Structure formats: structure tokens, C-alpha cells
Structure 1
Amino acid sequence: MEDSPWWRDAVVYEIYVRSFADASGDGVGDLAGIRSRLPYLAALGVDAIWLTPFYPSPMADGGYDVADYRDVDPLFGSLADFDALVADAHAHGLRLMVDIVPNHSSSAHPWFQKALAAPRGSEERDRYMFRDVTPSTEDGARQEPNNWVSVFGGPAWTQVADGQWYLHLFAPEQPDFNWRNPEVRQEFLDVLRFWLDRGIDGFRIDVAMGLIKAPGLPDTDPGFGAKSPIWSRPEVHDIYRDWRRVLDSYPGVRAAVGEVWTDSAEDLALYVRPDELHQSFNFAWLEAPWSATAFRKVIDETLHAVPAPTWVLSNHDVVRHTTRYGEGAPDPSIGLARGHAALLAMLALPGSAYLYQGEELGLPEVKNLPPEARQDPIFFRSKGEVLGRDGCRVPIPWAGTAPPYGFGTGGSWLPQPAEWAGLTAERQSADPSSTLAFYRRALAARRTLRGTLPDAMAWLEAPGDALFFSRGRLVCAINCGTDPVRLPPHEQVLISSGLIDGQDLPPDTAAWLLTAG
């Protein structure tokens, strides 16, 4: 309602910094480029922006390998550029959140370099997860301390010159911190304060469920649940209670949202208790197939267990949802139509929504990137068997008829498809039937209803593979089936994702209806 904190029902726009806008002309997006596009974001109608990492980094994983948590990589600008961005964002009515990467640092981080130079058992090595091998196979020839595998493929362990091994749940260039070390905990409290002092409005926490590992580092089976020795250990919640105290000590409302992959909504809810994180990403919604049954299951489980829920369809780590929804469809345009419908359903639900840059342009996944252009470590660690995440990270097309489409003056770090000439922001701004125009209308409609709708929703009877639900006067109807369905009673169609003829809702279409109540 009107007195709710901003994050509770905000629409947050994720900016993958490398791919948003390039002001320097080097082919890589930067902070000055983002500043130049703030009017576009304000006109789009979002409430806040979230920046992926911009810290000094060797870029082994697109900046998620941080070498210095208190500075800006020259590739992206300077601290002065960052301060100017914060000020300009606030002047445009936009809040600004930054990514923080606490599970691991870069192998180039000074702490890790000191650890490599230090002996076994040293204070320097205790900041990370160094271990000796304890033979546990019949022939005593085990090669790593345990059977953990990297999220990016291959073993989660790398051996150093003196024979010890260090843990990296991701790339070898991303050694995991030892969060049982008080020095690590204090360091990140200080990092939080550094950026909060610069006026940011909150943090997105990378791999938020992974900081604490089980004592003894036992072997594991796959899974993210509470029984895993790797993920969602109970001790991680003490860390976020400390973080919440820091956030609450600052004026205004500073928020934290966790990247938390769990096996259930109940596990997810543990992260958003009143003294911990404000929100956690709801990846079950992102992973749901195009199905009324699947959507309803996720909505029910989420709203039953999670206060202040979040909803997200795409981000920088997954295949873009217009492509996912179109897999196997007879017409490529079906994926886009379903994406529009899913957006309306998402924006009608209680909670906040996270958008990923370019989805407002209807950008598809770029699947045909040449191998020599790819940069995702997943692609290299899988020897090309897994394409990785580059396809959703191709830079934004802003204007013009040929690459780099106004992204900058010096090309783009990933090649843009020729067919994107029809998807530029410039071209779509002039077309009232475009995806960009639809997003603007949808976000404007949501704003007109802000503060007037209850937090609770109710299901209405719906035919076939359709969902109807209400929040006060607002009724959202989405048709995931193959035949038209009759709309529920209403006085007005506020917005629809496709053409509605009479009282029937076509397949792959959603609508917002207003009732007399």
C-alpha cells in the first residue's frame, strides 16, 4: 500500500554493465553510458536500476571475479563516474542497487595473492578454503579433497605449488572465501558501508546461499536444499542478520535482495525473515514452463511461504524468456506473444518485479555466436558442449540500421545480429505496436494502480489452460491454451498483450480487467 517501503512493489531494471551503453568507444558498456540512458529508463517507467559488477577485475567471469571491492574498473570509468551516476539516477527518480559478490573473490585479489605466498596453516590462507587431500579411496589415490564440482563444470578444486588445494565453486579464477573467518565477515561489513556511504539504495547479493560450507566439507549429492553441505547452510543467516543491521543503520530505506537458489519456497522464505534480507529472487517463476498449471503452482507456493515476493522472467544467467517460451512452437512470434502475456501476469502479482535489459525490446537469445567471440567460462570449461550465457548478454541495440546500433562508436564486445535492425529502441519508440511501447503502457498501468490494490490475491474460476485472479478491482486473465477462452465479468479492459475481439481472450494472451468493486 502507499506506506510500504519502495522495494516491496518496485519494478527493478537489471543493467548488465558491459552490454548496456558504451560512452568511451571501446566496445564495452560503462558507467557514463548508463548515465546517458537514464532518461530512457525513467520514460520506461521503472523504479530502480541494479548494476552488475563494475569493480576492478581480470574479467575471467564478466566481473564476477572481483579484485578490489572498493573501486571501479577503468574499463567502466571511475569512482567519480559512479558518484555522478548515483546523483543523476536519483535526480531522475530512480533508485540504484549494486551487485556484491561475497562468495568468492578474483584470484588476483591481494588477499589471495598473499595466501598463495603464505605457508600452510597461515592466517592468509585461512581467509580462503585451502585444504590438504585426505585419502579416502581404497587405493588412497584420491585427487581432490572431496567430490564437489564447479557450477561451471569440472572439479571445484585447484592445486597450488605446495600441494594444497583451494575451493572454487565457480571458475579457478574465483576462489571461495572462508566465511567462518571473522576477518572475512568484517571486511564485507566495511565494503557494504563503503557503497552505502556513496548513496546507493541497496545490494543484489551474488550466490547468497553459498557462503557457508558444512564442517569437514563432506562429499555431496546434487541439490540446493538444506541438507546440502554446500548450499543454504543454517549459519549463513547469521551473516545476513549482521548485514541487515548495517543496512538499517542508514537513513532512508536501503534494501538487499539475495540470489538464492533453493529446492522449495519454504527454504527461500528463511532468507527474508524480518531481521535478514528484504527479498530473495524467486527463480521458480523464471523456470516455470508456459503452462497455467505450472504458473499457478509457483504462485501458490510462493505466496504461501514468502513475504514480499519477487518475480523475474529473465536475467544475465539464463536464456531470454521470449526464446524459452517459443521453443517448439510452430511460429517464432509465439515466444514474443507469450513473453508479453507473462509480463502482464507478473506485474499483476503482489510483490516486486525484476526486468532484464533488452526484454522491453523483445530481444531473443542470440544462439549463433561464433566460438571465437564467446567469453563465458562455462563454454570453455565444457569444451564448447555448453554454450553458456553469452547469448543473453549481447549489447543493446539503440539506434541505426547496422551494428553496433548506437551501443557505442567502437563496435561491441559481443557481435550483434543483423536482424536486430528492426528491434532498436529508436525504431520501437516510434511504433505504438512495438514491444517497447507495450512495456511502457504496462508499467504505466501498474503505476496508476499502485497503492490501491490489496496485497492478497484470489483465484477465479477459469476454463481450459487459463488463469484468472483478482486483486481488489483488478482482474488478470492469461490464456496459456490453444483455444480462446471467455473473459470473466468486467467493466473495462485496462490493457491487453494482444488484440481482444469481443469477450474472448485469444491463446498466448493476457489482459488486465477492471471490475465495479
Structure 2
Amino acid sequence: MTQIPGNESRPVSAGGSAARPEGWWRNAVVYQIYPRSFMDSNTDGMGDLPGITSKLDYLHQLGVDVVWLSPVYTSPQDDNGYDISNYQDIDPTFGTLADLDALIRGLHQRGMKLVMDLVVNHTSDEHPWFVESRDPASPKRDWYWWRPARAGHEPGTEGAEPNNWESAFSGSAWQFDEVSGEYFLHLFSRKQPDLNWENPEVRQAIYAMMRWWVERGVDGFRMDVINLISKDPALPDGEVKPGRRFASSFRSVANGPRIHEFLHEMNREVLAGNNLLTVGEMPGASVEEARLYTDPARQELDMVFTFEHMNLDQVAGSSKWDLMELHLPRLKENLAHWQTALDEVGWNSLYWNNHDQPRAVSRFGDDSHEHRVNSAKTLGTILHMHKGTPYVYQGEELGMTNSYFTEITQYQDIESINYHADATSLGMEAAHVLASLAVKSRDNARTPVQWDDSRHAGFTGGIPWLPNNPNYVEVNAAAAVADPDSVFHHYRKLIKLRHDHPVVVEGTFALLLPEHDHLYAFTRSYQEQVLLTVANCSSGVVEIPPGALPDLAGAELLLGTHRDSSAATLQPWESRILLLKR
């Protein structure tokens, strides 16, 4: 077993771009860690960097290539670390820079890499840049979006906001500041003021910070809401839907007028020549826009996170909380559209869940006792056999489920708490609001990782910051690693398939049975190889229609969820990956 080094304070060498061959991320699998919920080393109830380092052998056994670390920077924690007050230090909640150096060293020693979260659409209102900008005479005044009250309105009164944009966390996207007599823009929490990327000094300060992290050993960046950084300087009003006071800020600012210019400049200033992994979180980006962002010839980003498939279980044009049934043909159509549209041009990122989305097996599968394991395996099979870079969110490899909280007091997520307050104040029944939260709240993904069946699931010796899911006694890493038929080992085999078979990485995608309500089937073709994936995405037995699939004579089963894989019927949540004979 590799020895974990001590906490020396000196930076770790990245090994340079030579340690990262060009395009290395194409056959990599990324594992996302939400630090406060991963592993606690000091019994304060909060996950931390030493806790992550203590679990590197577990990640190495799983076979992942990259760890994406959600923010660990210094922060008041208004939005769980996405409100940063110092980009070049670690919040004491999570440890020290020396602890991060030890983590980087431990990853590199095991052949893994580290991707940091880059949050540069906004900072914390406690960041020195913003504190200084509150002085109207400050040279940093223009580092943020400061504007006077709307003409004819008294500052600080209703309707005086400079425009009608809405915060993603409810209410106006503008906060009046009595110190300076003007409003500042915040597309998220009022404690997350937006940076003004129109100012070249802002951009250069961000690029300098990024270079500092690359020199410290970081292998790439996941860029938080990066397609929101370019705003029209005129800040025009957005379209307001009936019954609402504010307009969606996402629709008003996503993919703004200078976004490609800014990303190309960032590439030139920081990314070029370093062979880093870059992925942009881009709410509202269409596949046509994603082609531009990820086209290598344009020198912007490697891949983006699309949100379209995350919106298929909500009423069209409504908020995420307005639930509707997800029909498999719509999901297949959407994912296939992204596969074919980016083929030969850009690159897909593949994900079912993350720290902002509920648990995959509860949302897209069947998390009942009877079907949880096989539906978690089958969801993994479908995702990993698509073309693109797969992302595994912590606990996904265990089949962790939603917690289904029943009281608002159980929630910590600012988005969930604000929605509950706003919806109930408008007269919506509390039971209806709580039902939506139980399905879609971000806290579903943030309950602590379930390591074993001991007290608090082995996550902490103290009291966890968010309650454990009670099913940790059954669903935990220790049990999964010990069981060769577990979700964990299925994911391990999926990752190995990607590493061993070029067709999984390079193969052209073709969807089969697009209108079938329960079967998800597709091929991947590369050179002389054809890979067939077929999956039953239901909790009932399904017959494979005669002649619907390619000739299976002589096909080799690479991975399946069930022992008998030759039948013309698929058991509930059964999936098969077959290498066809040509």
C-alpha cells in the first residue's frame, strides 16, 4: 500500500504538462467529492481534506482517474463554499494548504489527478475585492456591478432595483448597499456579488490566481456557472412571466455577448500548453452553443455540463420544483441528440447527479429494496457506455439514495429553504412544497457518504452537519467492497472497460428503439468493433422485440447485471454490454 505523505507546507510539483498527455481526459473517469460530506478526520461533523486523503486507496480501487473537488477555499459558507472570500487559501473547516498539498501528492502517487472548482462569476461579499469596492471612490468599484436606483424611485424601495432580474435563490438579483448608496448585482445569494468581467483587471487577477493553482499541482478546473460571466453592460430588463415580479436572470445573461472572447482569452492566458481538464457548468446552453465552447479549433473548453436532461422531470417552462413524470423516450432522445451533435466536433460530459442534483437511483431508477442495486448498476451502464467523460458523484458507486426529509428544519440548503419560505408565503400548501423538496432538493445529494454500518455511517466521530440517510446500515462502502456483486464492483468494471476498450472512448453512437417505453439500447462503433448496450429501465420484465437488435450470434458479454444474459427477455433493471462479432 502506498504510504500517505505528511503535511509538508511546500507546494507540490504537477510534473508539468508531460504528466498530462494531450487529450488524456478523453478516456478518464472523474469522481466528484463534496468535501463537507465525504469524510471527517477530526470529529467536528464536517468532512475535510485529511479525511479525503485517508480514502484515496478506496478511490484507487474503484479505478477513477480524476478527483473533482468542490470548493474548499476560505469562505463564510453562505452557499456551502461557493461564496469565496480568498481564492488562494483553504477554509479552516477543511484544513490547510499543507493538507491540500498532501492530497495532491497522494493522488499523483496513485496515478490520479485533481480538478479544482473554479468559482469566478461571483465572490463572497467578504472578499477583500468587494469590501474595497463598496467605496464609490475605490479603484475596485468597477470590479463588481454597482448601479444606482432606477430613475424616479427612492433607493432601497420596492421597484427601485436597476433592472428586473431575479436571483437563482429567489427574490431580486439586486441588493441595496447603504454604505455606498447603490445596488450591487448578485445572480445567486445576496452574499455572492457578481464580478464584472468587462473590467480587464478582474480577468487578469483571475488568470493569475488560476496559474498559481496550476503551479501548485492542480490538473484542471470545473468552472462554476461559467457561461454567466458575460453580461450586456446595458443590463436590460428581462421578460417577466405572468404572475411573477422578476425575470429569470439565467435567460437574461446566459451565453452573453463576450463569453467566447473571455473563454478564449482564459485559454490563451492559463490553459494553453498545460493539457488541463476543463469543464464548464453552463445552465441554459444549447447543443449548438456547446459545439462552439468545445470545438478544439476555437481553444475555449474541453467539455461542458449540459442541463437539458436535468429538466425533463419538471413542467416545461416552470421551476425545478414543478414535478412531472419522466418518460424514457424523451430522455433517450435528448441524450442521443447531444451524442450526435457533438460527435467529431466537441466532447460530452456524462453525469446523472452531482452536489446540485438529487440522487440518480432515486430520480432515474427505482430505489426500493428490491430494485435499488440493479437500477443503480443499469444507470451506470447506460451512462458509461455513452461517448464522453463520465462523472461519478460520491456515493453513486454505492447506490446511495435520497433521504426524503419530511420537515423543513431538516434542510440546510439555502435554495431549498428560500423556496419553502417563498412558496408557503404565496399560499402553497406546505405538504406540497415538502413533497417537491423531498424529490429535488440539493440536500439529497449532500448527506454524508456512508462508509460502514457504525454510528453516523463511519463518516464522523461527532455529530454530522447534515443527518445521515437512515439506510446506511444496509447501503455502505464496507458492505459494497466486500460483496463482489455490488454496485461498487459494477462501477469498477465499467471504468475498467473504458480503460481497456478504445471503442468505449472513440466509438460512434447510434440509438436503437428510440420510441420504446422501457428499453434503452444503442451501439458504439469504432474500427472493427461494435459494442451493444441494452437495458431494461423498468421494474417489470420486458421482451426484446424480435429483430430489434443487431445479430447477437457469437457476441461476447463484457458486463451484465444478471447471470443469464442470453434470454430474449430482460429482467427488471437488467442491462447487458455485448461486444458483437463482425
Normalised by the length of structure 2, the TM-score is 0.81
C-alpha contact 1:25 1:410 (8 A) present in aligned 2: yes
Q: Give the C-alpha shift of residue 190 in structure 1.
A: 0.5
Q: Give the C-alpha shift of residue 450 in structure 1.
A: 3.7
Amino acid at match of 2:448: P
Give the counterpart of 1:296 among 313, 321, 332. 332
Aligned to 1:233: 256
Aligned to 1:347: 384
Aligned to 2:129: 111
SS at match of 1:340: helix
Between the two proteins, what is the percent identity of the paired residues? 35
Aligned to 1:259: 281
Q: Go from structure 1 to structure 2 and tell me whether the alpha carbon gap of 1:181 and 1:415 turns closer, same or farther (over 3 Å shift).
A: same
C-alpha contact 1:484 1:507 (8 A) present in aligned 2: no
- Is 1:243 equivalent to 2:266 in the alignment? yes
Aligned to 1:484: 543
Amino acid at match of 1:435: V
C-alpha contact 2:195 2:202 (8 A) present in aligned 1: yes
SS at match of 1:470: strand
Give the counterpart of 2:292 among 267, 270, 280. 270
Q: Go from structure 1 to structure 2 and tell me whether the alpha carbon gap of 1:299 and 1:382 turns closer, same or farther (over 3 Å shift).
A: closer
CA distance in 2, matches of 1:235, 1:381: 32
- Is 1:434 equivalent to 2:525 in the alignment? no
Q: Give the C-alpha shift of residue 341 in structure 1.
A: 1.5
Q: Go from structure 1 to structure 2 and tell me whether the alpha carbon gap of 1:502 and 1:425 turns closer, same or farther (over 3 Å shift).
A: same
Q: Give the C-alpha shift of residue 326 in structure 1.
A: 4.6
Amino acid at match of 2:453: G
CA distance in 2, matches of 1:220, 1:266: 23
Q: Go from structure 1 to structure 2 and tell me whether the alpha carbon gap of 1:300 and 1:77 turns closer, same or farther (over 3 Å shift).
A: same
Q: Give the C-alpha shift of residue 489 in structure 1.
A: 2.9
Give the counterpart of 1:68 among 62, 80, 86. 86
Q: Go from structure 1 to structure 2 and tell me whether the alpha carbon gap of 1:424 and 1:314 turns closer, same or farther (over 3 Å shift).
A: same
Aligned to 2:149: 133
Q: Go from structure 1 to structure 2 and tell me whether the alpha carbon gap of 1:202 and 1:143 turns closer, same or farther (over 3 Å shift).
A: same
Once the two structures are overlaid, the 10-residue window that deviates more, 336-345 or 146-155, is 336-345
Aligned to 1:380: 417
Q: Give the C-alpha shift of residue 291 in structure 1.
A: 4.5
Aligned to 1:37: 55
SS at match of 1:71: strand
Aligned to 1:511: 576
Q: Give the C-alpha shift of residue 443 in structure 1.
A: 1.9
SS at match of 1:216: coil
Give the counterpart of 1:318 among 339, 350, 357. 357
Q: Give the C-alpha shift of residue 311 in structure 1.
A: 0.8
Aligned to 1:473: 530
Amino acid at match of 1:201: D
Amino acid at match of 1:232: N
SS at match of 2:83: coil
Deviations 1:324-370 (A, max 9, x none): 1257x9x5644653332221111111111111101111111112165
CA distance in 1, matches of 2:447, 2:504: 38
Give the counterpart of 2:469 among 399, 417, 429. 417
Aligned to 2:560: 496
Deviations 1:164-200 (A, max 9, x none): 1111100011011111111111110001101000111
Deviations 1:303-329 (A, max 9, x none): 2332111110000001111111257x9
Amino acid at match of 1:68: N
Report how many residues are paired: 508
SS at match of 1:319: coil
Give the counterpart of 1:280 among 272, 280, 304. 304
Q: Go from structure 1 to structure 2 and tell me whether the alpha carbon gap of 1:516 and 1:462 turns closer, same or farther (over 3 Å shift).
A: farther
CA distance in 1, matches of 2:164, 2:556: 59
Q: Go from structure 1 to structure 2 and tell me whether the alpha carbon gap of 1:27 and 1:355 turns closer, same or farther (over 3 Å shift).
A: same
Once the two structures are overlaid, the 10-residue window that deviates more, 487-496 or 96-105, is 487-496
Q: Give the C-alpha shift of residue 151 in structure 1.
A: 0.5
C-alpha contact 2:238 2:249 (8 A) present in aligned 1: no
CA distance in 1, matches of 2:370, 2:51: 31
C-alpha contact 1:324 1:335 (8 A) present in aligned 2: no
CA distance in 1, matches of 2:211, 2:505: 35
CA distance in 2, matches of 1:286, 1:6: 27
Q: Give the C-alpha shift of residue 473 in structure 1.
A: 2.8
Once the two structures are overlaid, the 10-residue window that deviates more, 289-298 or 39-48, is 289-298
C-alpha contact 2:114 2:218 (8 A) present in aligned 1: yes
Deviations 1:86-143 (A, max 9, x none): 1110111111100010000001101111122x12x64322111111122379xx9723
C-alpha contact 1:56 1:73 (8 A) present in aligned 2: yes
CA distance in 2, matches of 1:363, 1:141: 44
Once the two structures are overlaid, the 10-residue window that deviates more, 156-165 or 494-503, is 494-503
Q: Go from structure 1 to structure 2 and tell me whether the alpha carbon gap of 1:226 and 1:238 turns closer, same or farther (over 3 Å shift).
A: farther
Deviations 1:26-81 (A, max 9, x none): 11111111111011001101111100000000000000000000111111111111
C-alpha contact 1:285 1:312 (8 A) present in aligned 2: no
Once the two structures are overlaid, the 10-residue window that deviates more, 31-40 or 378-387, is 378-387
Q: Go from structure 1 to structure 2 and tell me whether the alpha carbon gap of 1:255 and 1:464 turns closer, same or farther (over 3 Å shift).
A: closer
CA distance in 2, matches of 1:516, 1:149: 55
SS at match of 1:197: helix
CA distance in 1, matches of 2:420, 2:504: 53
Once the two structures are overlaid, the 10-residue window that deviates more, 158-167 or 505-514, is 505-514
Q: Go from structure 1 to structure 2 and tell me whether the alpha carbon gap of 1:428 and 1:336 turns closer, same or farther (over 3 Å shift).
A: closer
